[in-house]
Structure 1
């Protein structure tokens, strides 16, 4: 949905190197990008006359390079408060490490998130914190945060980061990441759901063993037909072989690549060389902080290293396109986002410096290199001087970055969701850090409370819809039975259910907003055992 601050509509212009990501991949070494309200008005060389209406607008010198905002196609946002898991072994598929099959999952994920997601003070803090985390990692679009109520209603949280699942904008067709249980488990109903005019971002073939691949093969119907069309966007696809990618591409499907999470859990990632050879369109997603990057800026580095390990021919421009132009194409948003062109939404990312290859510069950039993040023409994160130049009267908050330049976040919004209205990032951080440090006591208190104790407003209480913990009536993945000569077998895909509470909860550290300032995260990453040789150490170095 369009975002508005409490300030009147205004025009501004940013001067720097402009990386357009248009179909010609034009780069303007010294250019000015003009913004009128929420849209890009013009993209011009610095020595060109200002467009009509901007004659009296002085361009703001960014001292950096301007890109389209980063579009993330997969992230379980609520879980991004949790720290990186030191994964103890390689797994073959999703069922082996998540849910009831792994009692440690209760201590790691289920227990903490149940406590946070149902508490009336902690649930809004989760929402505020994870959105800020997306911003400080350069993300302007991501998947949404689902809420459900004691009245049986379900809705998406309205935030400042653009949400692929709730846009309220005809130029940005909404995608979905969940389908009804009956549609997920019935081949005919699933195919009918795919034929509706919405992209479906669904987990697919999560793992490397035959069970993971069977999850994809179950999409095959009788008479060599497949429950695949242009609306199916498969997340992970680690279990697919070269012939499977040909099927996916041949039926119009696309995919989301989450290399770090795949490598951490399974010791390998999707066969990107085969996917690209087949013509599959690919986007990026950092998955979640439990086994992934803090955001897309980190995932670009993880993808670069994964391509190097796999000897995949993948340029830095290809990688940047996956997080911008190609992601927009997957969503059918290319006429509104993903490039710097007049008429498109002003979702922007500015990094420091203008030297060297512009695509390599973004892949190598750290979070302290981010100078500005703009969504719908509103500056949401960046250096104090740049945010202040665009919104001189806006209420902003300091973001501890560990860098020499002061950075602020701007969360003020007239359309703010009531569950977080007025909650500062500092207060959200304090609530979460305190709660996670005292999880055992909070869990005991929550266990004695009635269910659904979340935020109350007008008699309706909302809480986080944590689909990865327990069934909620909506699936994140198809569950079609595998078709064999003897008929249909049991549904494929992982069983999602509550992990057995085999051990009491222990204190947990709140995951830091920025990788460069999170020594614990960097240390765990450097010593992860499932990663290729030196991968974790090298990635941790690239993030600082």
Structure 2
């Protein structure tokens, strides 16, 4: 997983000058994406009422009572949060409302996503989840909405207990208020749990080969327009989930009919891809999110990490590949 941090009201806070006087800091140096947050820092071991967290785009550099000994301290832009700060982990791929269910034990292993997603065994496994979800979609009773929120809250508490403070693939895109809660939702630009301007399009299956012939492609023009305008910073599709040619064809669709192999793309799964595909992904500076647990459970194998390592070389693998809990 990658490191990040959660600040409950960070989106609306004023940004102040560099924390050191100009005699010690270079003019404009604080614009390098380096920030120092001050507030009540909550760690697994203690609550620090007047603590500091120093971080940059790569992750957390310091969390404690003071970060002054760190060599980057003077170049940081100071944010007085007046609130709680939770340094923690990012879970880059999760379906949070399913967390209350026990892990699915499939009766067999499959070749691609299409084989199990419509199976009677899978529908029986998730029947309880879907009952309450579908009631909510129909706008039925407040009781159904309450159960949907309980599933969401349970998943968030479980994530926090594991050290996660930010997560991708929560519920806010469906509009439920309970999705804007304890864990920062990176899918939600305007939600209380998200940071404005940090927008992720978690379109689950934008390129589908389940019909058997060819592929259906997502709206490339719309995605490109959103990226160019700055309102979309990351496109996170599920691609190559499986081990056969049908799963592989999603890469062909990505590079041909969609043509969105770009730095803003982070591919979830990629189990059907090999060295040639990973070389193209690395060359485009796109990212990969591995889902080892579900991949092994469903297909008997997961991302070919040695091939990924060869493809990315010395490009800073920690910024290119993330491991999810799904």
Q: Same fold (TM over 0.5)?
A: yes
Q: Residue 188 of structure 1: CA displacement?
A: 4.5
Q: Which residue of 1 aligns with 2:166?
A: 141
- Is residue 33 from structure 1 mapped to residue 64 from structure 2 by the alignment? yes
Q: Distance in 1 between matches of 2:58 and 2:145?
A: 50
Change (3 A) 1:194 1:248: farther
Q: Please give the TM-score of this superposition, normalised by the length of structure 2.
A: 0.63
Cα distance between partner residues in 1 of 2:284 and 2:308: 13
Matched, 1:266 2:299: yes
Q: Larger relative CO (CA 8 A, sep 6+): 1 or 2?
A: 1
Point out where structure 2 has 5 or more consecutive residues left out of the alignment.
1-5, 10-37, 47-52, 71-85, 136-143, 209-215
Cα distance, 1:211–1:112 mapped onto 2, change above 3 Å: same
User: How far has the Cα of 1:156 moved from its partner?
Assistant: 8.4
**What is the correspondence of 1:253-402 to structure 2 with a 5 Å cutoff?**
253-279=286-312, 281-287=320-326
**Deviations 1:84-123 (CA, angstroms, capped at 9, x unpaired):** 1222222110011112xx11122111x2112232323311
Deviation, structure 1 residue 193:
5.4
Q: Of the candidates 113, 117, 127, which is equivalent to residue 98 of structure 1?
A: 117
Q: What does residue 184 of structure 2 align with?
A: 162
Q: Does 1:75 align with 2:114?
A: no
2:30 aligned with 1:3: no
Q: Does 1:241 align with 2:274?
A: yes
Q: Check conservation: 2:173, 2:187, Cα contact below 8 A.
A: no
Classify the secondary structure of the residue corresponding to 2:145. Answer: coil
Structure 2 residue matching 1:120: 3-state secondary structure: helix
In the TM superposition, what are the counterparts of 1:181-260 in structure 2 within 5 Å?
185-186=217-218, 188-189=220-221, 192=224, 195-196=227-228, 197=230, 198=232, 199-221=234-256, 226-260=259-293
The CA distance in 1 between the partners of 2:58 and 2:117, in whole Å, is 44
Higher gyration radius (CA): 1
How far, CA to CA, are the matches of 2:227 and 2:298 in structure 1? 33
Contact conserved, 2:90 with 2:164, CA < 8 A, in 1?
Answer: yes
Q: Contact 1:191–1:228 (CA<8 Å) still a contact in 2?
A: no
User: Cα deviation per residue 1:110-150 (whole Å; 9 max; x = unaligned)?
Assistant: x211223232331121121111111111111102432577x
Computed over aligned residues only, the root mean square deviation of the Cα atoms, in angstroms, reads: 4.0
Contact 1:33 1:44 in 2 (8 A): no
TM-superposed deviation, 1:69: 1.0
Aligned residue for 2:200, secondary structure, equals coil
Q: Matched residues in 1 for 2:68 and 2:42: separation?
A: 10
Q: CA deviation at 1:157?
A: 2.1
Alignment pair present for 1:132 and 2:140: no
Structure 1 residues 194, 87: CA separation in 2 closer, same or farther (over 3 Å shift)?
farther
Distance across 2 between alignment mates of 1:271 and 1:277:
10
1:297-336 per-residue CA deviation (whole Å, 9 max, x = no partner) reads xxxxxxxxxxxxxxxxxxxxxxxxxxxxxxxxxxxxxxxx
Query: 1:260-313 deviations in whole A, cap 9, x for unaligned?
Result: 1111111011111111221161012112xxxxxxxxxxxxxxxxxxxxxxxxxx
TM-score by length of 1: 0.39
Distance 1:181 1:286 in 2: 22
Residue 22 (structure 1) shift: 7.7
User: Does the 8 Å contact 1:194/1:200 carry over to 2?
Assistant: no
Distance 1:112 1:235, change over 3 A: same
Quick one: structure 1 residues 212 and 89, their matched pair in 2 at CA, closer, same or farther if it must change by over 3 Å?
A: same
Kindly indicate whether the alpha-carbon contact (under 8 Å) linking 2:172 and 2:188 is maintained by their aligned counterparts in 1: no
Q: Determine the C-alpha separation between the residues in 2 that align with 1:147 and 1:24.
A: 26
Distance 1:236 1:256 in 2: 6
Number of equivalent positions: 244
CA distance in 1, matches of 2:281, 2:264: 11
